[in-house]
Structure 1
Amino acid sequence: MKLKRGENMIRRQEINGKSPLNYSWYDIKNIDEKDILQLKRRFHFTPTIISYVADKNERPHYDHDSLTNTELIVYDIPVWPEANTEHFTTRPLIFLLQGTTVYTFHTDKTEYIFKEFKEEKAQDAKDATEFIMLFLLHATKYFQRALNQINNRVNRLDARLNSKIKNKDLLDLAQMERSLVFVSSSARTNLMMLENLKNTPFSWHITKNAQEKLDDVLIEAEQAARTVEISNEVTEKISRTSNNILNNNLNDTMKFLTVWSLILTIPTILTGFFGMNVKLPILNNDFDWIIIIGANVVLMGALYIYLRHNDFL
């Protein structure tokens, strides 16, 4: 079955050209109001379920609807930077299990993970629960890919920052920090959801193979959360060090400008005083300007020596 309207669709998935034997898989991409009506009428989705699957910002969690015997699993995956977004973000994958039927919900931004899973992993699933666990295991590995890319970029920025700090490099580093905030938050909430999954009604009918896959997912998710935390700490330290160096350079510049402003104040005072159009005592000959210049040089030199001696320079 395939109900299609432009980029929005409800599609019954086939694997290697055939429908799965022990379960059914429906994929819903870019859910809209017409999709929601179809889901209500044809599949009897309740308003509560609809509110979950239609939320594009739903946080990772598990939910069980005893009325319809429906189980919901929301799991975040990383989304790579695009033209209008210079940092990594995360978006939810939503799995809905009704008996032996699995519904998946995603958007264009998470389409990449579906294509690779369908081509490489989906055929290994023998039942609905194993299908979900295989999908989660496949999705979790993308965190490590995202982290590798973030760490490589941070290392390149660190090398540039060691030579000369530029605002552009600091802005790039800030984007990587934002990336790690998104990835770190999602990795932790994914792990919390998975750890609690064994204590939910989902565990009542999970098969042995699916249980083994769940253990693998937990290992991958825990490793991802730990690695993200380490990367976040390293990036924060690099950022703090770079900001400290930049602030120190700025302080040195301001100190230099302040000192020379003080030194150059002396000629301004003397020339302003002796430049008044009134008769002044002491200096009354044609070489007065030489004396004034000499006084400027002596006073400026004395101030320079004083400031240098007192570590202002």
Structure 2
Amino acid sequence: MINEIILNQGVKLVDVHSTNDLNDTDRAILIEKYALTNEILDYADDENERARFEYDEITDTYLMVYNVQNENNKIADISQRVLPISFAIKDEQLFLFTNDATHYLKDYLLAAKDHLKPEAQKEIWEFIFNTLDQISSDYSDQISETDVQRNHIQALIKKHHSSERQILDLADLEDLTTYLNTAINGNLTVIKQLELISTGNVKSLHLNKAAREHLHDSLIEIEQIKNQVDLTSDIIDRISNTYNNILNNRTNTTMKVLTIYTIVLSIPTIVSGFYGMNMKLPVADQGWSWIFSLIVTIVIILVILWDLHRRDSL
């Protein structure tokens, strides 16, 4: 579905919303009416497309693929928590390509009017940069939520209340931070590339001073988000390693206790086995021989326990 929305007198938003893939009707309209190329539409329609920024000199069209979060941040499939959306800029027209999970980006563009000064609204890139700031803010919120979940798991580990559920939750956090890290790194590359081009020799990209400053601020913001997700990912990895060490230590302690019990419990069997043999043994014919066997058993057990304690094995 294609909708045209006037952002201001000089900038028009073309909202291209697809449930899944771009259908043939919308593709034909975008090619015939708006003169977009099949190559650009293929990039914009690819749900696995990596973050990128490209410029088509022939059609004078910019394309930016950017990673954003799924509107449903509780979706079970963690690989779908981060999805690509696309911006295309041609002839003062801003094309936004989204699906059902990312269509909320349209609201960010519409809300830019409330955040941008009147003179800034004349610059089409200002709407994009403001949207990128909102996307970065979403990532920051997600990372903060991840930190809360990580702190909860860490508290359970310290209280020795850990379970298989915490192991699975910790694994999910590791997967999530991996996807977030990859997405944010891709977005950072796009912003750096855009800043490089805006100050380079591509004369068709004109950014005024305010827009360049806004772009630089967006770059600083996403660098801070990258540092934040790197720190979160590193802490989760350390907690995971610590958790594994705790589980290994618990296993070793359990095996150690079982081994000591096995040794201690085998002694009465050995002593009673000797006195159960059909052969002459010391004091075997005395009425108090069973007491003697108990004393021998206790003495041997105490000697073994003393030896284990001497070797720091208890």
Interval containing the TM-score (normalised by the shorter chain): 0.7 to 0.9
Amino acid across the alignment from 2:23: E
Is 1:82 the counterpart of 2:78? The answer is no
C-alpha separation between the residues in 2 aligned to 1:189 and 1:207? 25
Is 1:26 the counterpart of 2:3? The answer is no
Given candidates 173, 176, 181, the residue that maps to 1:176 is: 173
Structure 1 residues 50 and 40: alpha-carbon distance in aligned structure 2, compared to 1, 3 A threshold: same
C-alpha separation between the residues in 2 aligned to 1:286 and 1:116? 95
C-alpha separation between the residues in 2 aligned to 1:67 and 1:61? 19
Contact kept in structure 1, 2:79 and 2:179, CA below 8 Å: no
Amino acid across the alignment from 1:228: V
Q: What's the offset of the Cα at 1:116?
A: 4.4
Q: Deviations over 1:251-292 (max 9, x none)?
A: 22221111111222223334455556xx22223566554444
Q: For this pair of structures, how many residues does the alignment match?
A: 298
Alignment of 1:1-313 (within 5 A): 9-15=1-7, 20-30=8-18, 31-34=21-24, 35-79=26-70, 81-85=73-77, 89-118=81-110, 120-122=111-113, 124=116, 125-167=121-163, 168-200=165-197, 201=202, 204-272=205-273, 274-275=275-276, 279-282=278-281, 283-284=284-285, 288-313=289-314
C-alpha separation between the residues in 1 aligned to 2:79 and 2:58? 41
User: Structure 1: where are the runs of 5+ without partners?
Assistant: 1-8
Q: Deviations over 1:157-191 (max 9, x none)?
A: 22222211412223322322222212222222211
Q: What's the offset of the Cα at 1:28?
A: 1.6
Q: What's the offset of the Cα at 1:139?
A: 1.6
Structure 1 residues 229 and 309: alpha-carbon distance in aligned structure 2, compared to 1, 3 A threshold: same
C-alpha separation between the residues in 2 aligned to 1:293 and 1:141? 74
C-alpha separation between the residues in 2 aligned to 1:176 and 1:186? 15
Q: What's the offset of the Cα at 1:104?
A: 0.8
The two structures have a TM-score, normalised by structure 2, of 0.83
Amino acid across the alignment from 2:96: T
Q: What's the offset of the Cα at 1:94?
A: 0.8
Contact kept in structure 2, 1:88 and 1:182, CA below 8 Å: no
Query: Is the partner of 1:181 in helix, strand or coil?
Result: helix
Structure 1 residues 53 and 122: alpha-carbon distance in aligned structure 2, compared to 1, 3 A threshold: farther
C-alpha separation between the residues in 2 aligned to 1:81 and 1:128? 29
C-alpha separation between the residues in 2 aligned to 1:129 and 1:116? 14
Runs of 4+ in 1 over 6 A off after TM superposition: none
Q: Deviations over 1:133-159 (max 9, x none)?
A: 222222222121112211222222222
Structure 1 residues 83 and 271: alpha-carbon distance in aligned structure 2, compared to 1, 3 A threshold: farther
Structure 1 residues 23 and 245: alpha-carbon distance in aligned structure 2, compared to 1, 3 A threshold: same
User: Structure 2: where are the runs of 5+ without partners?
Assistant: none
Amino acid across the alignment from 1:61: R
Structure 1 residues 311 and 198: alpha-carbon distance in aligned structure 2, compared to 1, 3 A threshold: same
C-alpha separation between the residues in 2 aligned to 1:107 and 1:233? 32
Identical aligned residues as a percent:
28
What is residue 6 of structure 1 aligned with on the other side? none
Q: What's the offset of the Cα at 1:214?
A: 1.0
Query: Is the partner of 1:63 in helix, strand or coil?
Result: strand
The two structures have a TM-score, normalised by structure 1, of 0.84
Amino acid across the alignment from 1:229: D
C-alpha separation between the residues in 2 aligned to 1:108 and 1:227? 28
CA RMSD of aligned residues (A): 2.6
Structure 1 residues 83 and 214: alpha-carbon distance in aligned structure 2, compared to 1, 3 A threshold: closer
Amino acid across the alignment from 1:206: L
Q: Deviations over 1:34-54 (max 9, x none)?
A: 333433343343232122011
Q: Deviations over 1:2-44 (max 9, x none)?
A: xxxxxxx2222245xxxx3112211122233333343334334
Amino acid across the alignment from 2:122: K
Contact kept in structure 2, 1:60 and 1:92, CA below 8 Å: yes
